[in-house]
Structure 1
Amino acid sequence: MLFLSMNAFSMPFSENFILTNDGSKINIKANFFRIDNTEKIVLYKLPNSDAESRIKFKDFNYIHIGTTKFKTYKLNNSKEINGYFVLSETPSKTLIFTTKQNDDEESSKINYVFYVLDSNNNILDGLEFDNLKSTKSTAVRGDIFPKIQFYFKGCEQLIARIESYDNVNNQNMSILDFFDSPMYIECLK
């Protein structure tokens, strides 16, 4: 079972909540949030409780924790609901990503995938990459920045953030930190 965990960052927090499909908000603790992509659930705690609660992907629209947004999508009109971290939104495009489960549980390999979506949640472009130091993996990671820059060139805050991670001198490994510390950047103007 794959668990992605996120703990509170040392940044100032805004409201931490789950927006359900019926429009209601569930306020949650900022320092406890786990995603189980296999079971398609999110585990969380309420502000005044240590009891763990869960919600299925199909029952919420998105979760906002600090600077992070996690949203469910049916991509390309699929019936399957999956959860993704939202890295940026413009009026016409959204940048999302997730990690994929490895078949070999003992492997240190992490598989990532990001997608650029249009306003109807259709995939315009995407890229799958990993954290290995092979020549092929290094080359694929080298395509991340130019691809995001192409689609989101007008989103200055996103471009500045990803530029700070774009470093070819270390086998393009720094770019992984951009995804390992997901931050939602809204460019809806």
Structure 2
Amino acid sequence: MNAKHVEGPPVTEHDLTQVIAARLNARLKHEKNALGHLANFAGVDPELLSAIVGGRRAPSIDVLWQIANALDVPFGSLIATPRRGGASVIRKSDANVLSSSDGAFKSRALMAFGDKPRVEIYELTVAAGHIESSQAHAPGTSENILVVRGTLEIVAGREPAYLLNAGDAIHFDADVPHSYRALGDDDALAHLLMSYDDIRD
């Protein structure tokens, strides 16, 4: 039996900003002064958070991670294409890409978001020489990274730095502060599989 393939129109950068705003509003609508509480807990400037929730500004990847961690929800629940039917196609041309504030680190969601998300897949691009630091994710979260191109240095918690070349992979606990750095003269490209232990749907 062939699975039914369902494909919607491409998602533009503007659309992604509105998707994030709508999903944050859905999370916040039942709590009094929710915006103020979230800004304080996430460590995000209240005016910036208000602009993101209002759909007037696209968040950087680092800010959205802070928000997701504060809400205790999967990161993908705020950005990924919703699952429709038996299959969802995620086109390379779709603008489901978030960048760090300086644009040197980019993450593209490669999965559709379902009802019980426990695994998320991303394509990471790290500019040559750039180091991207990430705060600790929810307890029990782990990351598997496969380097597709370039050389990547991974540091997780107090572990020594791990050097990975194209074709190398690593699994590490991501509920500690960790970082990614592209070594050499070329950008690094990697695929990230993130597994959650226990996090709200």
> Normalising to structure 1: TM-score of the pair?
0.31
More strand by share: 1
Taking CA–CA contacts closer than 8 Å with sequence separation of 6 or more, which of the two structures ends up with the larger relative contact order?
2
TM-score, structure 2 as length reference: 0.30
